[in-house]
């Protein structure tokens, strides 16, 4: 018997409130922008809502939604034609980019310069703290591919001269 629509909506809303902050942070690292991150998470959760019956029955709904997020991020990059609701006009974009040349900006810029799949692998492994198999599930690829992308991504971050002074990565490895 199907659950009443209202109950499903309430269930979904509770879920959204719980996962929104972390998804927003992950999306920020993937996109490099506050507004773009918000858009990405909103799109992700819209897709999660559209498939809520399946998402909520997953062993870990959060992992399911994280996979949607990564897919949505990849889809946007492929098409490079963002489709946005007018409700999400990028009016703050100018102040959210990489304008600030502080250390955060340097790391964010270095991250943004990684190829998308390497960026995803780095974010999932080193921010989300996922295992290789979990990251592989999120990226819909093999563990070996995750290893490769993460390794290359980290190597590029380490090699970033702008970052060496900030994190002393080279010295500590």
Residues in contact with other proteins by the rule CB under 8 A: 9, 12-13, 16-17, 20-21, 24-26, 28-29, 34, 37-38, 42-43, 45-52, 75, 78-91, 104, 107-108, 111, 122-123, 125-127, 129-132, 134, 150, 154, 157-158, 163, 166-170, 172-173
Q: In angstroms, give the least distance from the CB of 155 to other proteins.
A: 11
Given a contact cutoff of 8 angstroms between Cβ atoms, the answer to whether 127 and 154 are in contact is: no
Q: How far apart are CA 85 and CA 34, in angstroms?
A: 16
CB of 165 to other proteins, least distance (A): 12
Q: For other proteins, which is the closer residue by CB, 69 or 123?
A: 123
Cα separation, 49 vs 67, whole angstroms:
14
Q: 137: buried, middle or exposed (CB in 10 Å: 19+, 13-18, 0-12)?
A: buried
Between 145 and 167, name the residue whose CB sits nearer to other proteins: 167
Taking a C-beta distance cutoff of 8 angstroms, is the pair 147, 133 a contact? no
The least distance separating other proteins from the CB of residue 72, rounded to whole angstroms, comes to 11
Q: How near is the Cβ of 90 to other proteins at its closest, in Å?
A: 7
CB 166, min distance to other proteins, A:
8
Tokens describing residue 143: 């563990």
Which residue reads 């999120």 in tokens?
138
112-125 per-residue burial string, b: 16 or more CB within 10 A, e: under 16:
bebebbbbbbbbbb
**CA 19/CA 22 separation, integer angstroms:** 6
């Amino acid at each position: 018997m199907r659950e009443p629509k209202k109950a499903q909506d309430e269930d979904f809303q509770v879920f959204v409130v719980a996962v929104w902050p972390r998804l927003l942070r992950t999306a920020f690292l993937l996109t490099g922008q506050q507004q773009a991150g918000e858009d990405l998470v909103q799109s992700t959760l819209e897709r999660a809502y559209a498939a809520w019956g399946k998402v909520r029955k997953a062993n870990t709904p959060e992992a399911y939604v994280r996979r949607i997020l990564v897919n949505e991020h990849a889809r946007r990059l492929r098409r490079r034609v963002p489709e946005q609701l007018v409700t999400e006009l990028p009016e703050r974009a100018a102040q959210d980019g990489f304008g600030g040349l502080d250390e955060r900006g340097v790391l964010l810029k270095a991250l943004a310069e990684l190829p998308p799949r390497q960026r995803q692998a780095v974010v999932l492994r080193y921010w989300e703290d996922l295992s290789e198999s979990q990251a592989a599930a999120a990226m819909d690829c093999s563990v070996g591919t995750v290893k490769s992308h993460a390794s290359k991504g980290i190597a590029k971050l380490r090699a970033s001269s702008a970052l060496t002074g900030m994190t002393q990565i080279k010295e500590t490895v």
